[in-house]
Structure 1
Amino acid sequence: MTLKYLGSKRVLVPVLGELFAASGATTALDLFTGTTRVAQEFCRRGAHTTAVDLSTYSEVLAQCYVEVDAATVDRDEVADALDHLASLAPVRGYVTETFCEASRYFHPRNGVRIDAIREGIDEHYGDSPLRPVLLASLLAAADAVDSTVGVQMAYLKKWAPRALNDLRLRVPAFTPGTGRAVRGDATELVHELPAVDLAYLDPPYNQHRYFTNYHVWETLVRWDRPEHYGVACKRVDSRDPATKSVFNAKREMPAALAQTIKSVNADVVVVSFSNEGYVPLADLIEMCHARGNPVEVLAFDSKRYVGALIGIYSPSGDKVGNVSHTRNTEYVLLSGDADRIGAMAEQVLHGASS
């Protein structure tokens, strides 16, 4: 179970898995882990993986999908807990009032169930090791019945067909292998984290902030019932400088990225970046060269985020802009020992041509 997510590396995950396997690494770092897709793949490939992100919801997903080993989890215990939560009486609480009535992210029928389940997790499992697993299940269940195009800066004028489905909790698809979840600022943590064989960096590309793009998930995990503002009912602390990332600032981002790439303690560094990002490819190559190693560059054509494919609409539903383009290029840069990164690139290129 994974969430709809801007910048998701769903298509690149097999490639990154092949690169990891060809590197011979046994430890990995996913420094901007998001929904943990890549960290999960590294775990499946046998790595002890550290998954880092600033978001609270990302930390919970990493605790569920990276820290928990599929070989040791008691699925019956998880299923029993989810059945208990699903049986709780509906409650009209913060989610219903904020995300169903003041806005339209969820149908009220599902909103009252989300409220009841979220309250039940803390009431019945607040001190249980199952808590992050149950939260991850609730996030996935809510994502499956939301009424957005994948980001929470807006919601659809009319209910998405899936929003009319009943919320359903499912046992997460646990990942074989294990690792560690760490929440914090990558620019600070990069100096503190232990050395790894391979580090993967997938920083934000541009001005789009994950704190606001996924504010509903942040609130659902924190359960702090924040004040909100605007049609999208965004958290009021979205306006706080402390919730803003240097990677979303056009002037500051290149220097921050260069320093992060240079500072990460890894034998091999893999950086993915879009041609729509703030940093040109030539500059990215120079940033990787600053580590003192040769650099290999791979490029992959990909489909843009769905919101970019349907045009631009005003709050009243009127179309006010057109689609500019529907494809972009994802670059994957490899930095490390020449023979090692050469073998990694060859593995991917050979696999693509066979």
Structure 2
Amino acid sequence: MPFAETPLRDEYAAAVEHLARRTLDALHDDAAPPPEAPGADRPLLAAARVLGPDLFAPRLLAGAGPDGPTAALLAEARRTLPPPAAPSAGAALVIAWQDWAAGRLLARTPYGDGAPMPPAPPAPGESGWQTWSVRMSQLSGLALPGLDGPVHDSARTHALSLARGTVRALLRRDQTTAARLARWLAWTDAEGLAPRLEVAPVLDRIRLAGDGSARTALGLAIAHRLLAAPGGGGPRRDRHAAPRPRPPPAPAHGPRPRKAHGMTDTHVLGTAQRLGSRALSWLHAAHRDGLGRIPDNTLIDFADADNAYKPLGEVALAASLVLRDGVSGPADTRTARELLDGCWAQLREGDLLYERQRTTSP
């Protein structure tokens, strides 16, 4: 597999994209990834190390077991490249669980003998749902049929924290974390659990606003396949694992879907977005009709911030928040840009700001 002469980091990143693209193509074709040429080079082995269990996603989502050529590549990668040094105890736990998942799948082939199960990660009540959701996003490679363990039990028990983490990542424009958490939400949906967030629109949003990488596209495709599993499920539990009791249900006083009033969290979000859209439309119409605008031939007191600058500044702030969050539709985005353009024109394209600075500076 040829790679251009680039810095080592870029070469390894290109290898990850190459292997992720091959796996994605195989997922679309319901087949195993085509085998690589014998004697894989180090960048390709590093890519296999990075993708880990996701290399088997096309087979696992089709209800089959890990295939031999992919298992051979991953086993060689694990032999050649030891686990990276972890900068913290939390990172070490993530690496250990990723290795466990790869070893668990390799144990079903002639190329591995399993791996010891690491300690269970801290629950949201111990570390906070924000920290917990970030950790779960780093473990999204475990959200596959044929794997089950304490990490999966935690996802089942704390589906609401997964939804919160997904929304938080979207608001922070962290599309990578949002995509990985949405994959866990799709997995809980495949497990037959009550949804805490509508996953399909989230996946579509990430697809449009994401980084466009093959690795992100692979994660989104896996999530879509989990959602489309027959009966909302597909293969549930590792058939080679010893039976374990299900985790206890969430406390009775914990958050519940608001079914009693016929409303879920997604309906609340939809109502809030419609309210914001109507408010923006009202502001646009009022501003167009003269509210907050500077009348022609007005004498402006540059020393008085409330004289002209405050109304325009408030309108510009409201419009900038719509553009900053990036969750509005095309019509609201266009309205917000028109408001900003109108405010800038009212400030005479910066002339009034310059005059105020010139006349009020000591």
TM > 0.5 = no
Q: Which structure has more helix as a fraction of its residues?
A: 2
Q: Which structure has more strand as a fraction of its residues?
A: 1
TM range (shorter): under 0.3
Structure with more relative contact order (C-alpha pairs < 8 Å, separation 6 or more) = 1
In our comparison, the structure showing a higher alpha carbon Rg is: 2
